[in-house]
Amino acid sequence: MKTFLRLLRLMAPHWEMALLAVLLGFCTIGSNVGLLAASAYLIAWAALHPPILDLMTVTASVRFFGISRAVFRYLERYFSHDVTFRLLSRIRVWFYQHLEPLAPAGLMKYRSGDLLSRIVADVETLKNFYLRILSPPLVALLILALVFTLLARFEMSLAYTLLFFFLLAGLAAPLGIKVLGSRLGQQTVEVRARLHAHLVDSIQGMTEIVAFGQEDRQQTLVNHVSKQLLGLQGKMSVISGLSSSLTGLSMNLAMWTVLVLAIPLVDSGQIKGIYLAMLALATLSSFEAVAPLPLTFPYLAESLAAARRLFEISDARPEVQDAGSLIGKPDRYNLEVTGVSFRYDDESSWVLKDLDFNLPQGGRVAVVGPSGAGKSTLVNLLLRFWEYHQGSIRLGGRELKAYNQEEIRHLIGVVTQRTHLFNATVRENLLLAKPDATQEEMIRAAKGARIHAFIESLPQGYDTYIGEGGFKLSGGQRQRLSIARALLKNAPILILDEATAGLDAVTEKEIMEDIYNLMKGRTTLVITHRMAGLAIIDQIVVLNQGQVVEQGTQEELLHQQGFFRKMWDLSRQVLT
């Protein structure tokens, strides 16, 4: 019930349009009832050969109901789907607003495919919440009241007959379907989520799957989950067919029962014979409102299961909390890291332990070490993706935690090893760094990254789509686009996180030249496990297993014959 009420609150801003759609649905089915009832009455009365003028009113009503049914049907579909799409749009925006503050710390336990399933498939499932759960029962109640009143004017026994079969089809049948399809909706949502997660994992990890010869195993896994989903959907189809059969049976039993009860009343003169067909067809046509009801409970279970998966994310508490109001830009852009320790949870080992170094304004510090030493974790702490547990990080003399997350990320530009590019145009990907940038600013940044000429050579220039993840670009071009974004952002602090890893030697040399230009005038932190380009660095911090083992310039560290020297010699052996 709590989940249901929360969904109603999400829909609350659109209640007026939703109510209008319900009224239009009532008018649509009411027009159908009026059309069949008026047609039956017209035919029965015309069989008695009355004066033609006596039939004019009924003839006009038949035309009215015939036309109005089409008009109301169109308007009902238009407004009901408009409400549905507005509701889905609101849910997507609401879900993203709750999802974004959780990234990345609060989302580590979720697979990317599972998150995709929640924001796409689960939200899409909620389209049934209004169309198939809220609206049909309300329309059915209004139609029941209309036809019940019509039959009651002739004989209460006819009205009670309608009520009995209406409740049988609209309440008893759905409850029976609920028993037969218990947990079916929730299982469908869960299995569909697993299938999406496996598919996304398969696509994203296709290279590794093929490299290790796991194609058959992964295909078998996907086929197994797919068959589970097809099986559940097959059961839902059986239940849907059964519900249609029960509705049709109740509808025909209601019509024949009304006929059986009304014929003696006609014989006794209590009801005129010309009304007999009208009463039967009015009863028959009213069951159009009951047809969607048997599947209400399965759709409700599916929608609630999808909603619970969304609320599980939205109710999660972000790992990083803002201190409060904005405090503005610092006077200086120097970093002081003192005794910083961090681990991902209380049961895991320390990723960083007693980390100390100073990065003066305009200075260059490199943090080097083998994979797993904690280098990228440091970047996440500086960007406030995670909170450090012990020690202090001060920016411009103020504790980093005193700044709001958005303030910090406006002050820091990042160039990473894996530049994420969206399936959008070059222009849109650049504007991520500065949404209000002018064309001249973009061109200047692109020229600074030496990619403007390449962009101009593309079919639509800056308006060319570059594909998901920028797959239409080479590795070097993606990195240059990342550098262009950093130049466009023009942040006073620059973090280079393995910015040239994975590039060939020639491309790496070219990118390094662009990076040297990017460093000018900025406080720069370089994160790397490579030994190239460290000669221009003011201070090198050597990490191993989360702890600082050496500090100094490249020349000083080479003379110490310590851990850095071993890394240096190993890198030279690999190159030769």
**Which DSSP helix (H) or strand (E) runs through 446?**
helix 439-448
Cα distance between residue 392 and residue 524, in whole Å: 19
Tell me the three state secondary structure of residue 332.
coil
What is the mean predicted confidence (pLDDT) over 73-99? 91
pLDDT per position as a tens digit, 178-235: 777 667 777 887 888 888 888 888 887 887 888 888 888 889 999 999 999 898 888 8
Nearest partner of 300 among 120, 83, 118, 126, judged by Cα: 126
pLDDT at 476 over 70: yes
% of residues, the chain, pLDDT over 90 = 24
Residue range 31-54, pLDDT digits in tens: 999 999 999 999 888 888 888 877
What confidence score (pLDDT) does residue 325 get? Answer: 67
Phi, psi angles (nearest 5°) of residue 336: -125, 110
Looking at the predicted structure, is the pLDDT value of residue 145 above 60? yes
pLDDT band at 464 (very low <50, low <70, confident <90, very high): very high
**End-to-end Cα distance, the chain:** 68
Q: Which residue is it, tokens 């503050």?
A: 101
Cβ neighbours of residue 197 closer than 8 Å, sequence gap 6 or more? 111, 112, 113, 114, 116, 117
**Is the pLDDT assigned to residue 573 strictly greater than 70?**
no
**The tokens of 480 are what?**
């240059």
Binned at pLDDT 50, 70 and 90, residue 10 comes out as confident
Q: Is the pLDDT of residue 453 over 60?
A: yes
CB 58 within 8 A of CB 41: yes
Cβ atoms of 225 and 198 within 8 Å: the answer is: yes
Q: Is the pLDDT of residue 558 over 90?
A: no
The torsion of the CA quartet 61, 65, 67, 70, rounded to 10 degrees, works out to: 180
Task: Tell me how far apart the alpha carbons of residues 375 and 378 are, in angstroms, rounded to a whole number.
Answer: 5
Instruction: Please tell me the least confidently modeled range out of 73-82, 300-309, 353-362, 509-518.
Output: 509-518
Residues 368/539, Cβ–Cβ less than 8 Å: no
Rg (CA), the chain: 35
The rounded distance, in Å, linking the Cα atoms of 282 and 458 is 66
Q: Which domains does the chain have, with CATH numbers?
A: 2-189+232-314 (1.20.1560.10), 335-575 (3.40.50.300)
* 468 compared with 6, residue with greater pLDDT: 6
Q: Does the pLDDT at position 84 exceed 80?
A: yes
pLDDT of residue 502: 59
Inter-helix orientation angle 156-167/215-267, to 10°: 170
pLDDT of residue 396: 87
Is the pLDDT confidence value at 290 over 80?
yes
What integer pLDDT is reported at residue 182 of this predicted model?
63
Q: What percent of the chain has pLDDT over 70?
A: 96
The pLDDT, as a whole number, for residue 105 is 77
| Out of 419-423, 513-517, 534-538, least confident range | 513-517
pLDDT at position 193 is 82
Q: What mean pLDDT, rounded, does the chain reach? A: 86
pLDDT attached to residue 161: 93
Give the model confidence (pLDDT) of 367-402 as tens digits.
888 877 788 888 888 888 888 888 999 998 888 888
CA 82 – CA 80 distance, rounded (Å):
5
According to the model, what pLDDT value does residue 199 have?
85
Amino acid 32: pLDDT: 93
Contact, 45 vs 274, CB < 8 A? yes
Q: DSSP assignment of 57-118, as one string?
A: HHHHHHHHHHHHHHHHHHHHHHHHHHHHHHHHHHHHHHHHHHHGGGTTGGGTTS-HHHHHHI
Supply the pLDDT for residue 256: 93
Please check the confidence at residue 340 and state whether its pLDDT lies above 60: yes
State yes or no: pLDDT of 574 exceeds 60: no
Confidence at residue 183, expressed as pLDDT on a 0 to 100 scale: 73
